[in-house]
Amino acid sequence: MKVAVLSESEADETGVRVFVDAILQTRTEPVRIKPRHRGWPHVLKVLPNVLRQMHYHTDAEALAVVVDSNDSPCHPPGPNGTCQGGGRCRLCLLRDAARETLGRVRPRQHMPPLKMAIGLAVPAIEAWYVFQTRPGISEGAWIRGMAERHLPYTRGELKQAMYGTTRPSLTLMAERIQRAASRLAGQENLEGLERTFPVGFGALAEAVRGWRGQ
């Protein structure tokens, strides 16, 4: 399966692809996309262009997107199940941008529509990698901390736990992420990730599993 990955850095994309392959239980074929991207604002900005490029100029079958939530709302559900993020939920913003873009493209000849999977790392993707070795790290703990205005840990502490520094080089990030994601790629660990991060990792996993039937 030909799959592109879009995230906040090339190092992050390394880990996201490992997770996608593990969920699918098969090795995907990378599809390179341009332009390059750094950080949340740029990912949101370039997503429509990336989707159009993939749709019209590649034979890619799917795109996986993961960004950090940082201090934004973590897809809080309202009484009717809709997100109450006040227009700031990054998961919803990405979904809306993808839906609008793909709703306007012409059908691809001899190719089905692009498949999408979007994940939200709460508060940062490093939490996914270190949650097993750092007690207390979870999506629920972060959301409660935001509500109480007393965060249980900081993003800097997550980076320190993951890389041994709060300012890692891209090379160090790629090395540590590859190692950590590969360790978590087993079925039991994936289930642990989904239990611990049910909104952000759960959204990614559910969408990727859905590719099989599309």
pLDDT band, residue 36 (cuts 50/70/90): low
DSSP conformational letter for 110: T
Q: What is the mean pLDDT of the chain?
A: 92
Mean pLDDT of 12-28: 95
Q: Is 21 exposed, middle or buried (0-12, 13-18, 19+ CB in 10 A)?
A: middle
What does the DSSP 8-state code read for residue 29? E
Name, in order, each residue with C-beta under 8 angstroms of 202's C-beta and a sequence gap of 6 or more. Answer: 194
Percent of the chain with pLDDT over 90: 83
Q: What is the pLDDT of residues 152-193, one digit of tens each?
A: 999 999 999 999 999 999 899 999 999 999 999 999 999 999
Q: In the chain, where are the structural domains located?
A: 2-213
Predicted confidence band of residue 35 (pLDDT cuts 50, 70, 90): low
Three-state DSSP at 198 gives coil
pLDDT of residue 109: 82
> Bridge-partner residues for 179, per DSSP?
none
pTM score, two decimals?
Answer: 0.92
Neighbouring C-alpha atoms within 13 Å toward the C-beta of 61: 12
pLDDT band at 77 (very low <50, low <70, confident <90, very high): confident
Quick one: average pLDDT of 9-31? 94
Distances (CA, A) of 202 to 9, 102, 172: 21, 23, 27
**What value, to the nearest 5°, has the Cα angle with vertex 202 and ends 166 and 174?**
35
Residue 84's DSSP bridge partners are none
pLDDT of residue 84: 77
As a whole-number percent, the residues of the chain with pLDDT over 70 amount to 97
pLDDT at 214: 63
Of 15, 24, 21, which is closest to residue 68 (Cα–Cα)? 15
What pLDDT band is residue 38 in, cutting at 50, 70 and 90? confident
Q: Is the pLDDT of residue 24 over 70?
A: yes
Q: Above 90 in pLDDT, residue 15?
A: yes
Return d(Cα 85, Cα 73) in angstroms, integer: 5
